Structure 1
Amino acid sequence: MKHALLSAVFSLLFASGAALADDMPTYKLLMKEGRLFPETLEVPANTRFRLEVKNEGPGAAEFESLELKKELVLAPGVTRSLVFFPMKPGSYKFFDDFHPETGQGKIVAK
């Protein structure tokens, strides 16, 4: 009986967590041939969000933000996501570590 009750509780917690994750705002970033599209992402301040990063370039790309302590390496054709905790209003830089000269961007939390 206890096992069945625990299973039910975990199922409800998992389902509610998945529902919350689905309600999370999602923003898209395209990395292609050393460029970022868009270069500026505007997100709501104090709100958790997901960033979906896609590498359409012929070589590897790396989303990196020293300020936000986030890093994500993508092979060609790969799409992956990062979840960001609520940010205070401001501007936060990120870059493509494989193309630092041309792959510069920022997230602006308003």
Structure 2
Amino acid sequence: MKIPASLIASVRSLALAAAVLAAPALARADMPTFEVVAENGRFTPETIEVPANTRFRLQLTNRNVGPEEFETSTPFKELVVGPGVTRSTIFPPLKPGSYPFFGEFHPDTAKGRFVAK
């Protein structure tokens, strides 16, 4: 049985489209992930060493009684997390340096920094 060339071309196009769509998900699976816990109005750890010039994922678990808002100004990011909830966000590549972050609902005690090396 001979398979029509148009069917072969369609199957190839679908396979290529599937590979292109799957690539970002695979890239995210290999992305460095750093876990932070908000508890008693503080972040643990307070200092997070991240690879410079590399995208990374921050996973925040909130063990506070109320909500917490993780915030950075450079790069600008906000992540509101309810009590007992874990959420994540992706950060763009950071140049070598130190980047502070804080908790909007506990600004005096929930402080930390990323150190990109």
Give the deviation of 1:7 after TM superposition. 3.2
3-state SS in 2 of match to 1:59: coil
Residue of structure 1 in register with 2:112 after alignment: 105
CA displacement 1:66-103 (0-9 Å, x = unmatched)? 12100000100111111111110000011000000100
Q: Gaps (5+ residues) in structure 1?
A: none
Larger CA Rg, structure 1 vs 2: 2
Tell me whether 13-22 or 98-107 shows the greater mean CA deviation. 13-22
| AA partner of residue 57 (structure 1) | N
Taking the aligned partners of 1:73 and 1:5, their CA distance within structure 2 comes to 43
Give the deviation of 1:31 after TM superposition. 0.5
3-state SS in 2 of match to 1:53: strand
RMSD: 1.4
Taking the aligned partners of 1:98 and 1:45, their CA distance within structure 2 comes to 29
Count of residue pairs the alignment pairs up: 110
How much identity, in percent, do the aligned residues show? 49
Residue of structure 2 in register with 1:23 after alignment: 30
Moved over 2 A (4+): 1-10
Residue of structure 2 in register with 1:58 after alignment: 65
Q: Gaps (5+ residues) in structure 2?
A: 1-6
